[in-house]
Amino acid sequence: MSTGTLITVAPTGAESSKSDVPNLPVTLDELVRTAQDCERVGAAMIHVHIRGDDTRPTLDLGRLKETVAALRSSTSLVVQLSTGGAVTDPEEDRLRVLEAMPDSASCTMGSVNFGDDVFMNRWEFVVELHRRMRERGIVPEYEIFDLGHLSSLRRLLDEHDLPAGGHVHVDLVMGVPGGMPGDVSTLVAALRLMPEGSTFSATGIGRTSLPVMLASLSAGGHLRVGMEDTVSYARGERVRDNAQLVARAAGLARIAQRPPMSSEEVRTLLSVAQSN
Ligand code: KMH
Ligand code: ZN
């Protein structure tokens, strides 16, 4: 088990609108500034969804490439692009994200009800994402929204080999309405299903943020926080910015005697190529 804590920030997501959440980073400048602020207080990886000029989610390849380049030149963060996108994004667009050549990309391990929508991840699509990431040397983070997704991950690794770099890292996304609950007993159940030798992060959506963070730290897991997952800091108090969430996670990690890992340490942990 690693001693430090990998803190990933997921600053934007595809679900909140700028009009509802005015402090959501949606322009490239806002994203870069957020990334720098979050790195300063303990983040080592960034999970990126981008927005268009109209502030709505987009998977435009040119913009994705520009975003990867800007984050690389202004931070040392491990840059992870979302291939999940928004629930309305077609599979071809989600696969094309990999052409932006991030360090890492998300790979969701199955379909799940997502509030009133469905987040579709057909088996053949998941296999194709995994295959193309292997081909390009992009390190996946396997997103798990429900316990059955861990069974699919084991099948994927059995039938289609280990990912680029050979290390398996999982992110438990807990508390999505329609997915697994964000509580201690579900996190413990997930641990039994984790592939051997894998590492995991966890994030709790909305009000499950704190219980999932504390449970993950005590179970030896890593953390993902950010305004993709929660826009409330406490009951009745809106999040000021992403750095506020990262700073709280870093403080709890230090209290747990598992201080935030540097991005270089995280590159080693996840077998991501070192930055130059
Ligand atoms: N926006 C959700 C539908 C991912 O980034 O890979 C999917 C999501 C997962 O956020
Ligand atoms: Zn995401």
Say how far apart CA 247 and CA 255 lie, in whole Å. Answer: 12
Of 82, 142, 170, best ligand 1 pocket probe by most atoms within 8 Å of the beta carbon? 82
What are the tens digits of pLDDT across the range 238-258?
999 999 999 999 999 999 999
CATH number of 7-270: 3.20.20.70
Query: In angstroms, rounded to a whole number, what is the distance separating the alpha carbons of residues 99 and 62?
Result: 10
Q: Please tell me the distance from the alpha carbon of residue 8 to that of residue 78, in angstroms, as a whole number.
A: 9
pLDDT digits (tens, 9 = 90+) for 26-71: 999 999 999 999 999 999 999 999 999 999 999 999 999 999 999 9
The confidence score (pLDDT) of residue 132 equals 98
Gap from CA of 258 to ligand 2 centroid (Å): 25
User: Buried b / exposed e across 2-24, counting CB within 10 Å, b at 16+?
Assistant: eebbbbbbbbbbbbeebeebeeb
- Displacement of CA 190 from its chain's centroid (Å): 17
Q: Using CA atoms, how far apart are residues 7 and 80, in angstroms rounded to an integer?
A: 13
If we measure between CA atoms, which residue out of 147, 85, 71, 78 comes closest to residue 112? 147
| Site residues for ligand 1, CB cut-off 6 Å | 13-14, 82-84, 86-87, 106, 108, 114, 119, 143
d(CA 93, CA 97): 7
- d(CA 194, CA 105) in angstroms, rounded, equals 19
Which residue owns the Cα nearest ligand 1 atom 6? 84
pTM more than 0.75 = yes
Q: What was the pLDDT predicted at 141?
A: 98
> What residues of the chain score a pLDDT lower than 70?
1-2, 276
